[in-house]
Amino acid sequence: MSEHQDEKVIGEYPYVPKQQRAQAKRQALLESGRLLFIEQGYEQTNAKEIAAHAGVATGTFYRYFVDKRQLMMSLMNEQLDRLLPPIHDWTTNNPESYLAIRLEEHYKQLDQLNLNLLLPELLVKDSQLAELFEEIRSKMLRRIISNLRSAKKQGLVWDDLNVETVAWSILLLSEQIPEAMIQGRKKEDFQHLAKVICRLVFPPEKLEQLKTNK
């Protein structure tokens, strides 16, 4: 996500460095911020610490970021839409394996940055972030809903499927990669989860049909 996005959320940077050195410094600050936020929590981390961890002076922090919040926002902006599962157009072909792959990818992204651990704290604190996140979530939900609706029209799903509830369930199950998995991290786990989600949507025979079509 570009600087343009940043501006949408957080306004102008005090200084967006062009030179390689400075860019590296900015990145170091972002990374230090991410690590310390995750380790200690957002509120428990202060600018001085972040600067020290990044190997720069306190003042330098403020050359690159307006304040701690902006650094956090920059982190989030880059990743906010990655925090939600990338589920769309999955009701065709082999939904189970498709989902399993997407969920695993998603998990790997989460695992890389771990920003999802920060989100709960931040959403309470920062209504702007909360709104933005909610917006993205809504979009995602609407996408799942429209997906389910078209599958319903095609008669692929359970007769009595309540689209909204199931869509919600899917979003929930897939965005919070069950912590159980965080320990195991086995491929099968994602397949199990994919199967669970598919069961919510497709009767066994329809699912079988979709699988063999492929």
Partner DNA sequence: CATGAATGAGCCTTCATTCAT
Partner DNA sequence: AATGAATGAAGGCTCATTCAT
| Residues forming the site for DNA (CB under 7 A) | 15, 17-19, 21-22, 25, 46-48, 55-64, 67-68
- The partner in contact with residue 19, picked from its own copies, DNA, none with C-beta cut-offs of 5 to 8 angstroms by kind, is DNA
Examine residue 109 and tell whether it contacts its own copies (CB under 8 A). Answer: no
Stretch that binds its own copies, among 4-12, 42-50, 56-64, 72-80 (CB under 8 A): 42-50
- From its own copies, DNA, none, interface partner of 21 (C-beta below 5 to 8 A by class): DNA
Per residue, the 3-state secondary structure of 92-151, as one string, reads: CCCHHHHHHHHHHHHHHHHHHHCHHHCHHHHHHHCHHHHHHHHHHHHHHHHHHHHHHHHH
CA dihedral 19, 22, 27, 32 (to 10 degrees): 170
* Smallest gap from residue 4 Cβ to its own copies (A): 27
Instruction: Using CB under 8 A, pick the residue from 146, 150, 154, 162 that binds its own copies.
Output: 162
Minimum CB separation of residue 70 from DNA in Å reads 9
Question: Residues binding its own copies: what is the number (CB under 8 A)?
Answer: 34
d(CA 189, CA 69): 36
Residue closer to its own copies (CB basis): 20 or 183: 183
What sign does the dihedral 19-20-23-25 (CA atoms) show? negative
The nearest distance, CB 60 to DNA, in angstroms, is 4
The stretch near its own copies (CB under 8 A) out of 14-22, 73-81, 97-105, 117-125 is 117-125
Give the Cβ contact number of residue 144 at 10 Å.
Answer: 25
21 or 153: CB nearest DNA: 21
Residue 129: name the closest of 72, 65, 188 by CA: 72
Q: Residue for token digits 């695993």? A: 104
Residue in 50, 76, 99, 118 binding its own copies, rule: CB under 8 A: 118
Residue holding tokens 């996408």? Answer: 143
Asked if residue 199 binds its own copies (CB under 8 A), the reply is yes
Q: How many residues does the chain have?
A: 214
CB of 16 or CB of 172, closer to DNA: 16
DSSP 8-state assignment for residue 80: G
